[in-house]
Amino acid sequence: MKTVLSTSLLLAAAALAAPTEWPQFRGPARDGISTETGLLKEWPKDGPPLAWQIKGLGRGLASVAISGGKILTVAKRKDGQFLVALDLATQKELWSTRVSESGEEPQGAPSVDGHLIYAVSKDGRVLCCEASDGREVWRKDFTKDFGGKMMSGWGYAESPLVDGDKVILTPAATMRCSWR
């Protein structure tokens, strides 16, 4: 699991050369296509050189979002699952905000829409916060608020989809709601 997060951060490090917006899971259009140019056609035998790495970020299988000069991810830390913002230029932590008290390892990428960031914990807690400082705007709980029921051992591996003024999530319940 540590390797997956390290790999995600390695991919994010590629953005240091030419910062790009990658505000959600699989990129700007959610299609996994990067418009970066000048990439290697073939990697060296031992792979590309490590640009940088971060120790102590936390654990999990979450991917990253890159927006507004920040790298954002969700990680398990001592006191729960946190949305973490790193400075793209320095790789220093800017802020972290708890999404859930659960000690599970999160799996979904956060999504950025302008000045707001959305993240989901493995146990189905949804956080909306300010991109500037991580200040909570609102939060929801899939189970308590919507009657959601996760029936697999994987938990919620959710990456919120922002579509206009809506945030689309799948709480494993039959419902229709709109909040923003």
Q: How far apart are CA 154 and CA 140, in angstroms?
A: 20
Structural domains in the chain, CATH included, are 2-34+45-168 (2.130.10.10)
| Rounded mean pLDDT, 82-95 | 96
114 backbone dihedrals φ, ψ, rounded to 5°: 65, -120
71 backbone dihedrals φ, ψ, rounded to 5°: -105, 130
Q: Is the pLDDT of residue 134 over 70?
A: yes
Token pair 């540590």 is at which residue? 2
Q: What is the pLDDT of residue 117?
A: 98
Q: How far apart are CA 4 and CA 74, in angstroms?
A: 13
pLDDT digits (tens, 9 = 90+) for 141-177: 999 998 888 877 788 888 999 999 899 988 876 445 5
pTM: 0.82
- Work out the pLDDT band at 179, boundaries 50, 70, 90: low
Least confident of 15-19, 74-78, 80-84, 163-167: 15-19
Q: Is the pLDDT of residue 130 over 60?
A: yes
- Work out the pLDDT band at 84, boundaries 50, 70, 90: very high
Q: What is the pLDDT of residue 17?
A: 44
Of 62, 77, 72, which Cα lies nearest the Cα of 115?
A: 72
